[in-house]
A and B are shown apart, each in its own frame.
Chain A
Amino acid sequence: MNQTDFAGALELALAREEAAVAFYEELLGMASFAAQKATLKEFRLMEEGHVAMVQSMQTKGRVNLSPDAAVDLGLARRLAAEEKPAAGMSYQQILSAAIKKEERSGDLYRDLAAAAVDGEIHLVFERLAAEESRHKHYFEELYENEVSRDN
């Protein structure tokens, strides 16, 4: 995959979103009860939405993403979670894995943006990073409101 041109950049983004779908898919295979499954299905559906979004950008040949990064609530930096799927993951574990996941994607896009020599590619990666920050923010808010209610 060549990340130095537009198509290559989007291909990379697509691969990451597809990997995210696969991650939730794998977790779903291990899930044993309705609450786990419902949450994982919801998150998988969100990732499928992201796959569709990247595909539509590929078709249209342009990135129609907002450049505005979401506020960083700082959870990703300190949570101990690992992204490895494991059976019986609690809501807390699923959410912190999701936060970490989005953080890692955002970091990657930021690094690629910094490395990009082509102005347009730089912009594509910046916008992808901003998009990931919005996804991360969504999960961080869920974590704050539903898991870390007392701290």
Chain B
Amino acid sequence: MDIKDFIAPFAVWKRAFEKPFTVNKPIDERPGAPRYRGFHINDSARCVGCGTCEAICMNKAIDLVPVDALKPDGGDSGLRPRVDYGRCCWCALCVDICPSGSLGMSNEYLWVDRDPEVFRYTPGVEAKPWDGAELGYRRADGYRLLEEERVDMPELDHHEAVKSFLELVRGYSRQQAEKEADRCVSCGVCVASCPAHMDIPGYIRAVREGDLEQGLRLLYETNPFPEACGRICTHLCEAACSIGSGRSADGTPTDPVAIRWLKRYIADQVELADYGKALPRAEAPTGRKVAIIGAGPGGLAAAYYLALLGHGVTVFEKDEAAGGMLRYGIPEYRLPYPALDKDIAWITSLGVRIRYGVAMGKDLTLVSLYGDYDAVFLSTGLTVAYKLDVPGDKHPRVLDGVAILAAATRGEPLGLGRKVAVVGGGNVAMDAARTALRSGAEVDIVYRRREVDMPADPEEIMEAKAEGAILIPQAIPLEVKPAEGPDAANKATFVWNLAEMVQKEPGKRPVPEPIPGAVVEKTYDSIIAAIGQGPDLSYVAEGDGIEIRRYKPVIGPDGRTSRATVFAGGDLTNDRKDAISAIADGHRAALAMDRLFAGKEA
């Protein structure tokens, strides 16, 4: 051993008095390059918490974490990505994949701290000096890891469509469906927005993997109307889909995954005869009996889940066929009867008995069911069409939209004539207008507010216009008068006042205010009122023990009325008034009844 080996350790002490080689902030004067991949920035308001960044990160440097100030709502999980710089390799894949385009990287790369814990933070939530940095890495325009455009759905040309009641939307081929399914990143943001909480990423994965029986199984877990909903669902899920949260290069929103069409694809591809291979059969009979009033989607969804659990179900339906407004409201060019029949056939195959032509209140009383059944579910929908409520609205050429649509379903002659006004802006109005167009009429849609206020699905409005309907917005109905001139007896004159929209109360929607003197008169062969519908609750007597408030049975969170064994749901009670909400209500009530029978609740 050399003497130096002993001395050397002591020799380093002299360095203690020298200028250090390391500095606190060594290269302040050397900023990162303009597209340097530095610390992350996230526009938290645009981020939807989908977790795609977390899923793609190979180093597991990103975790989605709850953020106090954010509440989950349709289209936002309420989570935000937290980045761990002990793991991040600055590859920027997370930025490239982010569907909302909210994630970026600043060109800041210096951050000195003694506490190693701080190098893990939630960009956009925990303030950092580089927040809002202009420079740094962003996904280049036009560069996309995800396919932004949805696979086009083959549809009938509008000029052709209006000549018949043929279904407009043709459905995806296998290749198209799998390509569209590939766009889904399985983030699950959509699930919370679906009233039935369907396992959307699960069934889309099944499409991708070609396992349609698994897809069908997942659909039926919460929705026994996949053929119908695959066509007419209000698809709130698509508004929530993270893939639709971004902006294309031209600034337009990116297309959400075509969830509804993929659902339809699964149901269309599996033959009814093969449903039994995929779907569960009813459990052994429990001996419990449930009466369901109304064979619409709400009533039949309850029937399906009750039957699956082994309970005996009888549905009382006043009409001659099942489906409720799906059959007697929605026209067949949107929902062909064979598709609806397929859904219903599977439900009845479980032993659900439907007694047609039995009107509750007329042929049977509610109280008479109490003794024979362990529970009752009321799902009678909204069958009363409200009137125009203007002078002259009893004129024989003023017709009701729901009745016209029911007549079309029954194949009865509509006798609408050549010039038709449809009053209203909801689904019934659009369907009545398009039905009138298909019967050869020229159609005006007269609506009291603006087009953006119309409660109908925007697609339906667009299609009604494309098929030739003329929209007259901001038109307040004033009066219906007898027509004058030739064939006056078969016509009526509709009078309306053009309106301007006035913001009268802060936070509320603007009110149509008549413009003085701007009164318009036009003579029509038919005026179809479609301003709204209400329930016919005349079958519920005061002694039935069901509390009703403002023409709605009062229900608890599980759909139970004030009478412990009577439940209610569907359009009758919920505010959304669409098929999927009615289905979710039916499912919820079925589970609540099952708990009731099991003695798990009073």
Contact = CB atoms under 8 A, between A and B. Distances in A.
B549 A91 contact: no
Given A33-B541, A35-B537, A92-B386, A150 B546 contact: no
A74 B427 CA distance: 25
Interface string B416-442: 000000011111110000000000000
Interface stretch (A37-45, A103-111, A117-125): A37-45
Given A39-B550, A71-B511, A78-B477, A148 B386 contact: yes
Contact of B538 (A33, A72, A92): A33
B109 interface: no
Interface in B444-472: 447-449, 455-456
Contacts of B547: 38
B448 A34 contact: no
Given A71-B511, A146-B551, A150-B428, 12 more contacts: A33-B541, A34-B544, A38-B550, A73-B511, A80-B389, A90-B386, A91-B534, A142-B550, A149-B455, A150-B424, A151-B424, A151-B532
28 contacts: A33-B538, A33-B541, A34-B537, A37-B542, A38-B549, A39-B549, A39-B550, A71-B504, A71-B511, A72-B504, A73-B504, A79-B389, A80-B391, A80-B392, A90-B386, A91-B550, A92-B387, A146-B534, A147-B532, A148-B448, A148-B532, A149-B531, A150-B428, A150-B531, A150-B532, A151-B426, A151-B447, A151-B448
A42 to B, nearest CB: 7
Contacts of A80: 388-393
Contacts of A37: 542
Interface of A: 32-35, 37-39, 42, 71-74, 78-81, 90-92, 96, 142, 146-151
B535 interface: yes
B540 interface: yes
Nearest to B544: A34
Interface string B469-492: 000000011100000000000000
Contact of B423 (A33, A42, A72, A151): A151
Interface bracket on B = 35 or more
A148 B393 CA distance: 15
B504 A150 contact: no
Contacts of B551: 35, 39, 91, 146
Q: Which 6 A-B pairs have the closest CB atoms?
A: A150-B426, A151-B531, A35-B537, A149-B532, A150-B424, A71-B504
B548 interface: yes
Contacts, number: 105
A74 B535 CA distance: 25
Interface in B372-412: 384, 386-393
A149 B533 CA distance: 8
Nearest to A137: B505
Contacts of B351: none
Interface string B504-536: 110000011110000000000000001110110
B390 to A, nearest CB: 5
Contacts of A72: 504
Given A33-B538, A74-B511, A96-B389, A150 B530 contact: yes
Contact of B386 (A39, A42, A74, A147): A147
A87 to B, nearest CB: 12
Contacts of A33: 537-542
A34 B548 contact: yes
Nearest to B543: A34
B541 A34 contact: yes
Nearest to A149: B532
A29 to B, nearest CB: 13
Contacts of A149: 426, 455, 531-532
Contact of B535 (A35, A73, A96): A35
B447 A74 contact: no
Contacts of A148: 386, 448, 531-532
**Which of B428, B534, B550 gathers the greatest number of chain A CB atoms within 10 Å?**
B550
B429 A150 contact: yes
Given A90-B534, A150-B428, A35 B548 contact: yes
Contacts of B386: 90, 92, 147-148
Given A80-B393, A91-B534, A150 B425 contact: yes
Contacts of B505: 71
Given A34-B541, A34-B542, A92 B534 contact: yes
A103 to B, nearest CB: 14
A79 B477 CA distance: 9
